[in-house]
Amino acid sequence: MIPKEFESVTKDDIDSLVANLTPEGRDLEYKELLPGKSSKDVHEFLADVSSFANASGGDLLYGIREKRDSAGQPTGMPETAQGLPGINADAEKLRLEQMLLSGIDPRIPGIRLKHLEGFPARSIVIVIRVPKSWAAPHMVKLDYSSRFFSRTSAGKYQLDVREIRAQFLLSESLGDRIGSFRSDRLGKIMANETPVPLEPGPRLVLHLLPVASFAEQPALDLRSAQQHGSKLVPMGRPQTYGPLSFNFNGLFSSGGNESQKPFSYLQLFRNGAFEAVYARTAMNRLIYGIDWEQQVIRMGPSYMQFQKQIGLRPPLFIAISILSARSFIVVPSEPNGPHGLMNLRPIEEDALLAPEVLLEDQEADVQRLLRPAFDTFWQASGWPGSPGYDANGSWVGHKSLLQS
């Protein structure tokens, strides 16, 4: 795999692979031509992509000619980046995407395609980056046959029954570990086992749980993470907050007012999981829903960017919870406004846990993804869903109330 963020890959990186004779391997493969329309070509393409996803991920480069040995066999070493002349780049990328959608099950999240210009005869090189998948194994389904592939340094190979079973078990246990972590942390927060004592009352909890944190158990460099997180701010716009400091679980920072208990904190765990808690979400038995939605939408992306900086990219699960919520009522902000308290009811549960939301890549529309999670909290008080979204499904906060 080209050791750069996908967005930053340029023609110079392709030229460097050729100049340095960088060989194919577990995470890199060269192709001189795009796959044709025959079943054989389509199957080969699907097998290449799924093998990367079922292994450690990698880059598939189209438009690179390989060196040949004396018998005319490809050596895996690049000879030249002659590119793909005379093709419609957008049409070809769309064709490849459609092949992936119809030919691999389950769908591989996070695949990205791009083309690079500037090669001989106005040709292009197409780059396909396939992430390591945490929903593996992915199956090639074509012409009534089903096959599973993975990769070694020698290239792709077909998985046997034992290896297929092992990958299924890994995916199932991964979900269990993520769910157990969330449940354990929420139990500790409800028991006031937090890095700092918080104000009493309902608590908004945001967990950002990178899949890699639970699949690979990465050992973070906490000193480096502390430097990257020097500008992180806890939720709630606290007047006072400190830099990330070391504690037993990893790094934390708390926020509040000088004369009162802290009302928010951040906790980075040693495996890269992230927890943000905000304890000033309610007043007079009312939870101001638009305001806490705004906290998540405003601060969540900066927390995810921080995780990316320390090497933990999506996919990740976003988990939102409200604790100690029983007998409170969710309202937008001002209960005397156009919606009032008519037909609303107190929350019956003490802990409201929205379903986890899967963020497959950094470019996804987080606000739209979070709408089903936000809806569950409003529905606990009788609302049909979050009033913070407009008719087009965009989150606009208080503006939607003024337009209603």
Tell me: the pLDDT tens digits for 358-388? 888 777 889 999 999 999 999 999 999 999 9
Return all residues near 331 (Cβ < 8 A) that are at least 6 apart: 286, 287, 288, 289, 339, 341, 344, 381
Lowest mean pLDDT among 48-62, 137-151, 337-351: 337-351
At 252-300, the pLDDT tens digits run: 999 987 767 889 999 999 999 999 999 988 888 999 999 999 999 999 9
Distances 273 to 57, 157, 221 between C-alpha atoms, Å = 22, 34, 14
- Separation of alpha carbons 236 and 43, rounded Å: 52
| Domain range annotation of the chain | 6-159, 169-403
Q: Which residues pair with 359 in a beta bridge?
A: 316
Q: Which residue has the higher pLDDT, 229 or 353?
A: 353
pLDDT of residue 110: 86
- Tell me the pLDDT tens digit for each residue of 392-401: 999 998 887 6
* Range name among 126-130, 132-136, 289-293, 349-353 with the lowest pLDDT average: 132-136
pLDDT in tens, 102-120: 999 999 988 999 999 999 9
Read off the tokens for 242: 């400190």
In angstroms, what CA-CA distances link 159 with 101, 156, 165?
21, 9, 10
| pLDDT bracket for residue 404 (50, 70, 90) | low
CA-angle at 370, arms to 376 and 113, nearest 5°: 150
Angle (deg, nearest 10), helices 289-309 and 366-379: 140
Query: What residue has token string 């969710």?
Result: 330
Instruction: Choose which CATH entry (2.60.40, 3.30.160, 3.30.950, 1.10.3470) describes domain 6-159.
Output: 3.30.950
**152 Cβ contact list (under 8 Å, min separation 6):** 26, 55
Q: Tell me the Ramachandran region of residue 138: left when phi exceeds 0, alpha when psi lies from -120 to 50, beta otherwise.
A: beta
Helix (H, G, I), strand (E, B) or coil at 246: strand
Residue 212: the pLDDT is 85
Per-residue pLDDT of 146-194, as tens digits, reads 899 999 988 899 998 888 888 887 777 888 889 999 999 999 999 999 9
What is residue 120's predicted lDDT score, i.e. its pLDDT?
93
Q: Looking at residue 338, what is its pLDDT? A: 47
Give the span between the Cα atoms of 93 and 201, in whole angstroms.
Answer: 52
Q: pLDDT of 7-41, one tens digit each?
A: 999 999 999 999 999 999 999 999 999 999 999 99
Q: Taking residues 75-99, what's their average pLDDT? A: 95
For residues 376 and 378, give the distance between their C-alpha atoms in angstroms, rounded to a whole number. Answer: 6
Above 80 in pLDDT, residue 101?
yes
Higher pLDDT, 234 or 334: 234
Pairing of strands 316-323, 351-353: antiparallel
Whole-angstrom Cα distance, residue 221 to residue 109? 28
Distance CA 285, CA 307 (A): 35
- What is the rounded average pLDDT for all residues in the chain? 90
